[in-house]
Structure 1
Amino acid sequence: MIDVGRSLWHEPRPDDVPPVGRPDWLLAGGFALAAVVEGVVRPDLTWRPLMIVLALALVPALLWRRASPLVATLVGWGVAGVLSVVQLAASTDDLGLFSMMSVLVLLYALVRWGSGREMAAGTAYVALVVALGMYASATGSADVFGGIVLLLLVAALAVVFRYRADLWQRQRREIRNEERVALARELHDTVAHHVSAIAVQAQAGGAVASVQPERAVEVLAAIESEASRTLAEMRSMVRVLREDEAAVYAPGPGVADLSALARTDATPTVEVSLHGSLTRLARPVDTAVYRLAQESLTNAVRHARSATRVGIDVRREGGSVRLRVTDDGHTASGPTTEPGFGLLGMAERAHLLGGSLSAGPGPDGGWVVEAVLPAETA
């Protein structure tokens, strides 16, 4: 239990805090309008001008609630505390505007976006203000119970969304790491293949140097070319990590192997089209195009209902390579705001190589996956 408390105390703020946007301004403006309208038309309101001013003091707090959740909570719930003190001093049973219930939004923001220390300090402050308000209003036991349940529900909802987002971020990081490992492993295999070729060329050069010196010059040129290409590919992936696993010293499949994915004897049929010069791609890009096409084909076969055809089109466009995989089926589910982990992994691989990937319904039906990668990695 102590360890759990320490973990919560040291909990950092989420790193995906969105900036103030149009919905926030609409929320603040809507609250301000509601507070003014209620303050004007409500007949039983005591100290009407003061109540409207205090209500409008919550507007900045609503805008700050994500960037500075603790400050916003102190300001917003501080207004509620001031109302409780005024209520005690005036011996009034009912004071304040119903629109001030927006302080619940600040409690949600504190738990959703605050750090562990901010949550601890803010919730303690809120509990103190709530206790003061209940004492000032002489609230009955039923109202006390209902108010506590409401506060706990708001906090619980914030906790659910906070840790759901945290889990999503962790899964994305895991996918990114897996793709980095896969790229590093493929680079390791490719470099090992090139080094093996260099070693063979060097041995051949040593054998012919004394008999055919001119042949030795050709061998040295071949070694230089192979070494330069190897260094270029190593530099393109210099900071990619890999796991210590046994490796097969041979380059992985590439664009030239895509033809093996074509088939006409099963449904859906698979058609592969290659256009332009696709023979001098950087090895990581060459392998990535194959992997992306293979994964897209697998997804189409699994998830595209009633599909009869899958098309794989690869073409060279200047300094880029464009991969487009289409099917004529029906997707099992509509578009979602959170793509599946397979698509996330494909997108991470494309981004790591300096490219992009998009996936969604096609204009004529079916599903389209399109990736654009640089022919030479940065």
Structure 2
Amino acid sequence: MSNRLFRLLPNAYPVVLDTAFALCATAVYASFAGISSLSPWFGYPLAALIGLPLAVRRRYPLPVLAVVVTALCVATVLEMPLEPHSPTAFALYAVGAWVPRRPAVTALVATVVMSGAALMVSQPTPDDIGLVAFVGLYGSAAWALGRFTRARRAFAAREEAERATRAVTEERLRIARELHDVVAHSLSLITVKAGVAAHVARTRPDEVVDALAVIEATSRDTLVEMRRLLGVLRSDDATGTAPMPGLADLAGLVERAADAGVDVTLEVTGGGLPDGVGLTVFRIVQESVTNVVKHAAPARCSVRVAVTDDEVGIEVVDDGTRAARAGGGHGLMGMRERVAMYGGDFEADRRPAGGFAVKARIPLS
């Protein structure tokens, strides 16, 4: 019950404020009616028409302004008010804040003209021109403040919508990178081994069994990673049921690459990376080795990962003769985006001596 009350308080506060001002305005104008020459049967209902509609000014800004201004102009002609039309200013703020520009401007002009005309009829002397100007400026200032509030709310709403759009886009790109890295790596290994099996099926049947074993193991690992990704998408707390791959999983990655015909040497120094950085390092090495399998196998490849207190360096170099084209494909783009998320540096290009090199540096601070 108390939690529900706390949730209702922010929405109830404006209503309470408007109701309080409406009651105060009604009481003030009822006192004006009591000391004026008007009949109580006419003065008190007129005071109610001036004050009470302000309680619903946010919901019906234009009708409330019309009722309040009309009643206040009648009271002014009858010399009842003793203050500068504060109920009109209160209603004009609501019109400025919640009504579109064209009807809001029309309402302001009509209100200023009607109020000024009523004041001139009530007190048609040159000395009262200043009072007319003051009442007009008072109402216009309230209307302008309402317009400013409306513009500020619209700006905040646009910013919130843009933040939501950016968040959706970034999450979609993150999921796309994960899917690409998982599926591309596994399918590359499966394709290579399936091709080997088809090539030697008649002459070397024993190698077909080995190839099928690699395909089975790779497919099983891919299913595990896909389930982890689906767990991330389905869970409320954005955490999957399986741990994210990191430095400890690089050895298994190297073994699978060797099964696909790429001789990979792995050197890892240091450790203790945060989960997000560890996943980024794993995906960069995975994508780099996958490119070697797809574009340069059979080849030799060296992977070096050096973790220091300040940064982690990644270097994947191969000696293949058909190295991947620098800057092309979604894989290199995904690696570059992953490194850029942490403010690091990324390079990928052919080596002068042959082969291809991928280098990345990710700061840890």
TM-score, normalized by length of structure 1?
Answer: 0.49
Compared with structure 1, are the counterparts of its residues 20 and 103 closer, same or farther at alpha carbon in structure 2 (3 Å cutoff)?
Answer: farther
Residue 160 of structure 1 corresponds to 148
Compared with structure 1, are the counterparts of its residues 132 and 142 closer, same or farther at alpha carbon in structure 2 (3 Å cutoff)?
Answer: closer
Contact 2:69 2:88 in 1 (8 A): yes
The one of 161, 183, 194 aligned to 1:173: 161
Where relative contact order (Cα < 8 A, 6+ residues apart) is larger, the structure is 1
Cα distance, 1:223 vs. partner?
2.9
Contact 2:23 2:52 in 1 (8 A): no
Cα distance, 1:29 vs. partner?
3.2
CA distance in 2, matches of 1:59, 1:101: 10
Cα distance, 1:74 vs. partner?
1.7
Q: Residue 135 of structure 2 aligns to which amino acid in structure 1? A: G
CA distance in 1, matches of 2:23, 2:37: 19
Q: Residue 45 of structure 2 aligns to which amino acid in structure 1? A: V
Compared with structure 1, are the counterparts of its residues 195 and 164 closer, same or farther at alpha carbon in structure 2 (3 Å cutoff)?
Answer: same
Residue 202 of structure 1 corresponds to 190
Contact 1:55 1:97 in 2 (8 A): no
In the alignment, structure 1 residue 45 sits paired with structure 2 residue 41: no
Residue 282 of structure 2 corresponds to none
Which has the greater radius of gyration? Answer: 2
Contact 2:88 2:139 in 1 (8 A): no
Residue 35 of structure 1 corresponds to 26
The one of 222, 225, 228 aligned to 2:218: 222
Residue 348 of structure 2 corresponds to none
CA distance in 1, matches of 2:133, 2:51: 29
Residue 22 of structure 1 corresponds to 13
Contact 2:94 2:146 in 1 (8 A): yes
Q: Residue 157 of structure 1 aligns to which amino acid in structure 2? A: L
Kindly tell me the number of residue pairs found equivalent between the two proteins.
Answer: 232
Cα distance, 1:150 vs. partner?
1.6
SS of the residue 2:81 aligns to: coil
Compared with structure 1, are the counterparts of its residues 160 and 262 closer, same or farther at alpha carbon in structure 2 (3 Å cutoff)?
Answer: farther
More helix by share: 2
CA distance in 1, matches of 2:275, 2:168: 20
Cα distance, 1:106 vs. partner?
0.8
SS of the residue 1:47 aligns to: coil
Unaligned runs of 5+ in 2: 1-8, 202-206, 235-245, 247-272, 280-306, 311-336, 344-365
CA distance in 2, matches of 1:34, 1:80: 11
Cα distance, 1:43 vs. partner?
6.2
Residue 255 of structure 1 corresponds to 275
CA distance in 1, matches of 2:84, 2:140: 20
TM-score, normalized by length of structure 2?
Answer: 0.51
Q: Residue 203 of structure 1 aligns to which amino acid in structure 2? A: T
Unaligned runs of 5+ in 1: 1-17, 239-250, 264-286, 296-378
Superposition CA RMSD, Å: 4.2
Residue 188 of structure 1 corresponds to 176
Q: Deviations over 1:149-184 (max 9, x none)?
A: 222222222222222222222233333333333223
Compared with structure 1, are the counterparts of its residues 38 and 63 closer, same or farther at alpha carbon in structure 2 (3 Å cutoff)?
Answer: closer
Cα distance, 1:137 vs. partner?
1.9
Cα distance, 1:116 vs. partner?
2.7
Q: Residue 82 of structure 1 aligns to which amino acid in structure 2? A: V
CA distance in 1, matches of 2:28, 2:67: 22
CA distance in 1, matches of 2:96, 2:114: 17
Q: Residue 105 of structure 1 aligns to which amino acid in structure 2? A: F
The one of 37, 53, 66 aligned to 1:61: 53
Contact 1:61 1:72 in 2 (8 A): yes
Kindly report which structure 2 residues correspond to 1:297-308, keeping only aligned pairs within 5 A, or say none. none
SS of the residue 1:212 aligns to: helix
Contact 1:195 1:227 in 2 (8 A): no
CA distance in 1, matches of 2:109, 2:233: 50
CA distance in 2, matches of 1:48, 1:33: 21
SS of the residue 1:21 aligns to: helix
Contact 1:54 1:79 in 2 (8 A): yes
Compared with structure 1, are the counterparts of its residues 158 and 29 closer, same or farther at alpha carbon in structure 2 (3 Å cutoff)?
Answer: closer
Q: Residue 116 of structure 2 aligns to which amino acid in structure 1? A: A
